[in-house]
Amino acid sequence: MSRKGENIYKRKDGRWEGRYMKARNEQGKIIYGYIYGKRYAHVKKRLAELKVQYSFSHTNLNLFKGTVQDWLNYWLDGLMRKKIKLSTYSSYRIRIDKYIIPFLGRKQLIQLKSRDVEEFVNYLMNQNLSSATVHSVVTVLKSAMNKAFIENYIHTNPCNNLSLSTAAMSEVSALSIEEQEKIEQIALNEKTCSAVILALYTGLRIGEISGLKWSDIDFERDIISIKRTLYRIPNKNNSKKTEIIMADPKTKSSKRSIPLAKNLKNYLLDKREIDDSEYVISCKGSYAEPRVISYRFKKNIIQAGIRPIHFHVLRHTFATRCVEKGIDIATLSKLLGHASIKLTLDTYTDSLWENRKAAVSVIDHKLGNTTTIVS
């Protein structure tokens, strides 16, 4: 029997057992938790702590009645849409519709367990997806589940304690010096301004290059201001089609100013003299969207006779050349418009290896100049 007014019982094995109300299931039935101990006083103390801890979790519980798909749609369209940029909404929608809903969508939200999420992650990793893609999909799922838990729509967060392997961010690929010289020569021979030259000497993203106007370049103060980016998203009226969006840069740190160096300035001034478009990289008098820039770039690659690469490799090449020349990581992070120095460090860790070797060699030089006296 329990002591009066308490859910603490003496078991046949001599231990004390304490019972507390942990939550309620979808039918409103109480879910109990249990604690055991050899001493009554210990169980009583711990039981009081657990009762306080769980009193908040079930007092205002308002369990969600629908499926994971229902919740994800409500979370994205009802709660998040007005808080995030259209490009972010579009990327979330693609990840939810393409990956999460087909695997988890039919499950009742309140029945989603940690093992279900772990099975989902294993499924993703077996689809030959990049590590970045797997991480981005799981990040969306985590955000949605965190919100459901905060709002007391679920008993526990099934994404808690979920760990992903950090193994595999794709190795950063940069052009060799020889490859860079080859493609530069092709780009410099173009009559109008080349997106290749801009990317190699500023590190701009392809969407930022598409949206760059001549008015964004201050030739008096030698500053390039990154004010907008251009990208394609699925058409809201027809998912099989896309539409072009011109918007602010992807993050606050992406909206930045880049110093305009002497040689690039002379190159741009020459091209501005013969250009009749308001955009630095133009197509038929207007902007050149990323697909046009990528198409032109593929032709450049063929002419240069180098390996097939994506346009984004030019941005990596700019960063790698900076690292090779000893540019500090904080400065590089600002130039690239990264949200944090950690992102820059994580991305270019291999490129920084030579700098680290040089650093320890400088210190090591002192050891070589030290005379050791042996008595």
Number of domains into which the chain is organized? 3
Q: Is residue 371 part of a domain?
A: no
In angstroms, what is the C-alpha Rg of the chain?
29
Identify the pLDDT of residue 252: 84
Q: What gap in Å lies between CA 223 and CA 265, rounded to an integer?
A: 10
Q: Do 212 and 338 reside in the same domain of the chain?
A: yes
The DSSP code for 3 is P
Within 13 Å of residue 178, how many CA atoms lie on the same side as its CB? 3
- Tell me how crowded residue 119 is: count the other CB atoms within 10 A of its CB: 13
Asked if residue 369 belongs to a domain, the reply is: no
Say if residue 335 is in the same domain as residue 273.
yes
State whether residue 232 is helix, strand or coil.
strand
Residues 13 and 132 in one domain: no
CB 225 within 8 A of CB 233: no
What's residue 168's pLDDT? Answer: 45
Residue 298 lies in a domain: yes
Q: Are residues 194 and 342 in the same domain?
A: yes
Q: What is the pLDDT of residue 155?
A: 83
Domain extent, residue 107, equals 68-150
User: 280 with 228, same domain?
Assistant: yes
Write the single-letter amino acid at 80.
Answer: M
Q: 202 with 297, same domain?
A: yes
Same domain, 221 and 266: yes
Helices of type H across 260-328: 262-273, 290-304, 312-324
* Residue 103, amino acid: F
Position 87 in a domain: yes
Tell me if 169 is assigned to some domain.
Answer: no
* 173, 313 Cβ separation under 8 angstroms: yes
254-to-30, 33, 214, 251, 336 alpha-carbon distances in Å: 50, 49, 19, 5, 8
Q: Is there a single domain that holds both residue 210 and residue 74?
A: no
The pLDDT profile of the chain, 375 residues, written as one tens digit per residue, is 555 446 788 888 889 998 887 766 555 567 788 889 888 888 888 888 777 666 555 555 678 989 999 999 999 999 998 888 888 898 999 999 999 999 999 999 999 999 999 999 999 988 888 888 899 999 999 999 999 998 889 988 999 888 776 544 455 689 999 999 999 999 999 999 999 999 999 999 999 999 999 999 999 999 999 999 998 877 766 667 788 888 888 678 899 999 999 999 999 999 999 999 999 999 999 999 999 999 999 999 999 999 999 999 999 999 999 988 889 999 999 999 998 888 888 777 666 666 667 777 777 777 766 655 444
CATH assignment at residue 96: 1.10.150.130
- Residue entry with tokens 């979808």: 26
85 and 44 co-located in one domain: no
